[in-house]
């Protein structure tokens, strides 16, 4: 069956060049980078090279990069480090639309002695900047705001926020897991203190990530152990995956142009044609400051899960904006924060395109999806009763 993969915000295919670069580090060069012998030193050299490549993509210094096991670990490390190095401060600021990697940690902290401000967004998914900046107090230990939203693709004005927070001398962390490799990031020009990224969102393998910690930022490790990562993250390095992340970052520098021209053009075509062919379909989130490959569309009066299942039968892989939690279908916290009406939030689908998508993928979805929506609506009591008050 033809597979049309448009779920790149969930995870991406490992680039063949990344895989090729990784393979020798499973078999040929398996030494421990901390060993004194030169066999281990070979892997140490390769980690150094990977660190330079990751730093290169975001215009950081290599020593500002700490390798981790994933984006979630990077996010947790950043926030917990800020709290540990500011023991007197008990206030955290984040947004209402963060990924669970930040949202659930903050929720947990709010139940354990910390006060958390969850800054709202408007109906287009845009952050309330005045409220964010107005919430900062002397008690604020950290502000953590995502660079780009994983569900809608909406990009927040992170450089502007960083600038404002630097004046207030508050630690600023950004979850840039969805942004890195898709939009230009130049940390040499911003005042961001910490930034999280994840390998599997940019064509490296799952289970590897990195945390950028700006030189001079006070830091406390999350994993205490050996002296790896200069004592900032204990645990023997996942050498092959780190090598893969380095290669993926090197490649991302060459592909970022394509993301912002070809991938965004494919996304625009998909969005335009679906909106044209399917009545009562709405794009969730603003369409100006948005990741190049993402569109989140609500097809009113039907369930996203049903759409996904029917698309799945035809080999189309996407995501829905609702999650089946404890038996009840709850719309996503992101769409709820945006105030998307119930009838639309339930039928939302996220299409996230990447560099492997083609025009024929997009044409396939444009051809197959409208009849699916029509069929589901014919079966939907909500659709049949939509005009009744």
Residue with Cβ nearer ligand PLP (145 or 270): 145
Of 91, 99, 233, 267, the residue at the interface with ligand PLP (CB under 6 A) is 99
Of 142, 146, 183, 249, the residue at the interface with ligand PLP (CB under 6 A) is 146
Task: Give the Cα separation of 212 and 208 in Å (integer).
Answer: 14
Residue with Cβ nearer ligand PLP (89 or 247): 247
In the region spanning residues 184 to 203, those forming contacts with ligand PLP, defined by CB under 6 A, are 198, 200
Give the nearest distance from C-beta 178 to ligand PLP in angstroms.
5
Over the range 356-385, which residues count as b (16 or more CB within 10 Å of their CB) and which as e?
Answer: ebeeebbebbbebbbebbeebbeebeebee
**Site size for ligand PLP, by CB under 6 A?**
14
Task: Give the Cα separation of 275 and 289 in Å (integer).
Answer: 19
Give the CB-nearest residue to ligand PLP.
71
Q: Tell me how many degrees the CA angle 179-185-191 measures, rounded to the nearest 5.
A: 110
User: What's the chain's length in residues?
Assistant: 389
Task: Give the Cα separation of 266 and 359 in Å (integer).
Answer: 7
Helix (H, G, I), strand (E, B) or coil at 168: helix
In the region spanning residues 27 to 86, those forming contacts with ligand PLP, defined by CB under 6 A, are 70-72, 75
Give the nearest distance from C-beta 202 to ligand PLP in angstroms.
11
Residue with Cβ nearer ligand PLP (15 or 300): 15
103 binds ligand PLP (CB under 6 A): no
Contact 297, 282 (CB under 8 A): yes
Query: In terms of DSSP H, where are the helices of the chain?
Result: 16-22, 24-27, 38-58, 71-85, 100-110, 129-135, 158-168, 239-258, 264-277, 304-313, 333-337, 342-345, 359-379, 381-384
Give the nearest distance from C-beta 177 to ligand PLP in angstroms.
4
Q: Positive or negative, the Cα torsion across 267, 300, 177, 188?
A: positive
Of 144, 178, 281, 298, the residue at the interface with ligand PLP (CB under 6 A) is 178
Give the nearest distance from C-beta 150 to ligand PLP in angstroms.
3
Query: In terms of DSSP H, where are the helices of 16-86?
Result: 16-22, 24-27, 38-58, 71-85
Helix (H, G, I), strand (E, B) or coil at 121: strand
175 binds ligand PLP (CB under 6 A): yes
Give the nearest distance from C-beta 265 to ligand PLP in angstroms.
23
User: Closest Cα partner for 103 from 113, 112, 92?
Assistant: 92
Of 22, 109, 177, 274, the residue at the interface with ligand PLP (CB under 6 A) is 177
101 binds ligand PLP (CB under 6 A): yes
In the region spanning residues 309 to 348, those forming contacts with ligand PLP, defined by CB under 6 A, are none
Give the nearest distance from C-beta 154 to ligand PLP in angstroms.
11
Q: Of the listed pieces 43-51, 128-136, 171-179, 218-226, which binds ligand PLP according to CB under 6 A?
A: 171-179
What is the rounded radius of gyration, in angstroms, for the C-alpha atoms of the chain? Answer: 22
370 binds ligand PLP (CB under 6 A): no
**In the annotation, is 106 catalytic?**
no
Q: Of the listed pieces 174-182, 215-223, 330-338, 356-364, which binds ligand PLP according to CB under 6 A?
A: 174-182
Cα 182 from chain centroid?
10
Residue with Cβ nearer ligand PLP (175 or 237): 175
Q: How far is CA 210 from CA 23, 206, 237, 242, in A?
A: 20, 12, 12, 9
Q: Count Cβ atoms within 10 A of the Cβ of residue 163 and give its class: 0-12 exposed, 13-18 middle, 19 or more buried.
A: middle
Give the nearest distance from C-beta 174 to ligand PLP in angstroms.
10
209 binds ligand PLP (CB under 6 A): yes
Residue with Cβ nearer ligand PLP (302 or 353): 353
Residue with Cβ nearer ligand PLP (281 or 352): 352
Which residue numbers are catalytic?
324
Residues lying near ligand PLP in the complex (CB under 6 A) are found at: 70-72, 75, 99, 101, 146, 150, 175, 177-178, 198, 200, 209
């Amino acid at each position: 069956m033809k597979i049309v993969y448009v779920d790149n915000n969930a995870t991406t295919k490992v680039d063949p060049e990344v895989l090729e670069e990784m393979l020798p580090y499973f078999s040929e060069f398996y030494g421990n980078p901390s060993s004194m012998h030169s066999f281990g030193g070979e892997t140490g050299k390769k980690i150094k090279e990977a660190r330079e490549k990751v730093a290169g993509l975001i215009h950081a210094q290599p020593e500002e990069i700490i390798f981790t096991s994933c984006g979630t670990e990077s996010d947790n490390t950043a926030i917990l480090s800020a709290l540990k190095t500011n023991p007197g401060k008990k206030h955290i600021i984040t947004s209402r639309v963060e990924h669970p990697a930040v949202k659930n940690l903050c929720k947990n902290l709010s139940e354990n002695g910390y006060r958390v401000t969850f800054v709202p967004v408007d109906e287009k998914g845009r952050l309330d900047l005045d409220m964010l900046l107005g919430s900062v107090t002397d008690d604020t230990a950290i502000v953590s705001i995502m660079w780009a939203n994983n569900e809608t693709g909406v990009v927040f004005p992170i450089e502007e926020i960083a600038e404002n927070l630097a004046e207030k001398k508050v630690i600023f962390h950004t979850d840039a897991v969805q942004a890195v490799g898709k939009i230009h990031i130049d940390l040499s020009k911003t005042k961001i203190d910490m930034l999280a990224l994840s390998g599997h969102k940019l064509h490296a393998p799952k289970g590897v990530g990195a945390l950028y910690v700006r030189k001079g930022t006070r830091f406390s490790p999350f994993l205490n152990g050996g002296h790896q990562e200069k004592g900032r993250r204990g645990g023997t390095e996942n050498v092959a995956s780190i090598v893969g992340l380095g290669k993926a970052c090197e490649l991302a520098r060459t592909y970022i142009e394509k993301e912002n021209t070809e991938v965004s053009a494919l996304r625009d075509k998909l969005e335009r044609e679906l909106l044209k062919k399917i009545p009562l379909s709405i794009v969730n989130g603003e369409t100006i400051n948005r990741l190049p490959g993402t569109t989140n569309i609500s097809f009113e009066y039907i369930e996203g899960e049903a759409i996904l299942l029917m698309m799945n039968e035809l080999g189309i892989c996407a995501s829905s904006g609702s999650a089946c939690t404890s038996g009840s279908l709850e719309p996503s916290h992101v769409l709820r924060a945006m105030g998307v009406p119930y009838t639309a939030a339930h039928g939302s689908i996220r299409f996230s395109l990447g560099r492997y998508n083609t025009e024929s993928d997009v044409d396939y979805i444009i051809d197959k999806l409208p009849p699916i929506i029509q069929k589901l609506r014919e079966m939907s009591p909500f659709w049949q009763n939509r005009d009744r008050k």
